[in-house]
Structures are given as structure tokens and as C-alpha cells.
Amino acid sequence: MRIIYIGYWNNKDNMYPDFPLPVEKESKDNSEAIKQLKFIMENSQEKFCKGASTCRCCGNSNGTSEFVYQDKNTKYIIPSGYMHYLDSHGVKPSPYINEIYQKAFVKFQRVGKYFSNK
């Protein structure tokens, strides 16, 4: 099974070279991606981590969990703090957000389910 990490970042010391550095203000309007990400998070499995993550842009604590969405061949893992990067820092959203949203939305329409309580 393929695993795709979305919203995981490298740091200034290059400790995580497989991940990119977040680039602030790269996107002017993330409203559609934020809407899609909320849907994904509301309809994914949330797993809690041992500690809080720190924002690579502003240093604030920004989450203690990650969301896992899985289809037949791929598992997507998104930290809860990813929303902060899109909303507060204008980081360009991953194209995988739209891909997951399309898969999830079609899946829940087909089976007549939408698990959101919001």
C-alpha cells in the first residue's frame, strides 16, 4: 500500500529532507482547499499523537493528532495542524487535498453516508 504524507514539513536544520519547507503566502485564497480539508478531516480516522506539533512558520503549537483517509491502494496521512498552515500562513495546498476530497465525496454519496456532525 502506498502512503502519502500531506502537510508534514522539513525544518531549518534539514532533519526531514524528504519533506518540503512550508512557503508562506504562496496562495492567496485557500478557501476551497480549507472547505475540502474540513470534509476530509470530518470523515477520516483521527489518531492522537504523543505530543504537540510546532508550526514551522510562527512557532505556535498547532495540533496533537493526524487524520488518516484510506482507499483501496493508498493511505493519506494529514496532521491536524495542516489547517493552520493553509488558513493562517497561506501555504499552497497539496493537490492531494482535492484528490482525496473527490474520492471521499463520491464514496459517501454512493453509499448515502456523510458522517459529519457539523
pLDDT range class, residue 114, cuts 50, 70, 90: low
The 3-state secondary structure of 49-84, one letter per residue? CCCCCECCCCCCECCCEEEEEECCCEEEEEECCHHH
- For the chain, the straight-line distance linking the first and the last C-alpha, in angstroms and rounded, comes to 31
Q: Is 89 helix (H, G, I), strand (E, B) or coil?
A: helix
Lowest mean pLDDT among 36-40, 70-74, 83-87, 101-105: 101-105
Q: Does residue 81 sit within a domain?
A: yes
Residue-wise pLDDT for 20-76, tens only, equals 999 999 999 999 999 999 999 998 999 999 889 999 999 999 999 999 999 889 999
Q: Does residue 30 sit within a domain?
A: yes
Query: What does the buried/exposed string (b/e) look like for 86-111 if buried means 16 or more CB atoms within 10 Å of the residue's CB?
Result: beebbbbbbebbebbbebbeeeeeee
Q: Which of 11-15, 30-34, 104-108 has the highest mean pLDDT?
A: 30-34
Q: Does residue 67 sit within a domain?
A: yes
**Cα–Cα distance for residue pair 41/60, rounded to 1 Å:** 21
Our count of domains for the chain comes to: 1
Q: Which domain holds residue 91?
A: 2-110
pLDDT range class, residue 117, cuts 50, 70, 90: very low
pTM: 0.86
**Cα–Cα distance for residue pair 111/105, rounded to 1 Å:** 10
Q: Does residue 117 sit within a domain?
A: no
Q: Does residue 85 sit within a domain?
A: yes
> Are the C-beta atoms of residues 106 and 46 closer than 8 Å to each other?
no
Residue 118 pLDDT: 42
